[in-house]
Amino acid sequence: MRTVVGEFRHLHHVRVSNVYLLDGGRGDRWLVDCGHWSERATLLLELGRAGVWPGDLSGVLLTHRHSDHAGNARFLQRYFGVKVYAHRDDADVLAGRAPRARLTRKGGSHVARLIAEFENRWPAQVVCDHALDDGESVGSLEVHHVPGHTEGSVFYRHGGTRALLSGDTLLTAVPPLVVRKGMSLPYVTFSTDLPLAIESLRAFHRSDVDYEHLLPGHGRPLVGAAKRTALEFLSRGHRDG
């Protein structure tokens, strides 16, 4: 586990997707995303190294509903009483109250198609304890709805450190395998509505919401000048991931 900025730690041994611990003290101790079920043991070991018992968490905040980010939510809720939070549009899908859009290749790579089929067959499922809305605050984090990658994708912004947790709507590694470094848009195969995701991202950056550090769902955290870097990236007219 590595400290990123301020109270944020990156559980860097969890590999499938990024998991962050915000440890603002009792009552403000959150996991942002919780990884894929295949890395459950690693997640628990990482928390143990940080001296955090899962039951001490204020909750799990999901950036979106995909299984690599939400795969351990029901486990943590069931066995440790951890409360699960997601935007209401994804919360409805996770609970089975709304249909789950099937991921298809959509022009992406053959590798992406295989990953999509895995997601289609073994999606995350959980009944969230709290459904979030755009503009809401939870703990010390602001909720910003950026639909498109999924129906309920969100950014979480931490005012104290000016950190932005971006899930899969803005990445610092190139999908689908996310081993090559570089700022990237959501990937077409994994997105419910890619044009909407890109417009949501651009609209957010046209707003006056400021941030200095980027904590993405895949790729290394970007510490310092993150919004400026993102604006330069978006200005180059990228159209897909």
Q: pTM for this structure?
A: 0.97
Please give the tally of structural domains in the chain: 1
DSSP 15-37: -SS--EEEE-STT-EEEE----G
How much is the pLDDT for 136? 97
Neighbours of 5 (CB within 10 A): 18
Which domain covers residue 61, as residue numbers?
Answer: 2-235
How much is the pLDDT for 4? 97
Q: How far apart are CA 88 and CA 110, in angstroms?
A: 32
What is the domain-level CATH number for residue 52?
Answer: 3.60.15.10
CB 66 within 8 A of CB 104: no
Q: Is residue 61 part of a domain?
A: yes
Q: Is residue 110 part of a domain?
A: yes
Neighbours of 234 (CB within 10 A): 17
CB 161 within 8 A of CB 23: no
How much is the pLDDT for 238? 59
Q: Is residue 98 part of a domain?
A: yes
CB 60 within 8 A of CB 124: no
Q: Is residue 111 part of a domain?
A: yes
Q: Is residue 153 part of a domain?
A: yes
Q: Is residue 241 part of a domain?
A: no
Mean pLDDT for each consecutive 10-residue tract of the chain (241 residues)?
Answer: 95 97 93 98 96 96 98 98 98 98 95 97 98 97 98 98 98 96 97 98 97 98 98 80 43
Q: Is residue 240 part of a domain?
A: no
How much is the pLDDT for 145? 98
| Strand arrangement, sheet containing 154-158 | 137-138, 141-145, 154-158, 163-167, 213-216, 222-223
In our burial notation (b when 16+ CB lie closer than 10 A, e otherwise), range 160-190 reads ebebbbbbbbbbbbbbbebeeeebbbbbbbb
Q: Is residue 144 part of a domain?
A: yes
How much is the pLDDT for 25? 87
Helices 226-235 & 194-206, crossing angle to 10 degrees? 130
How much is the pLDDT for 241? 43
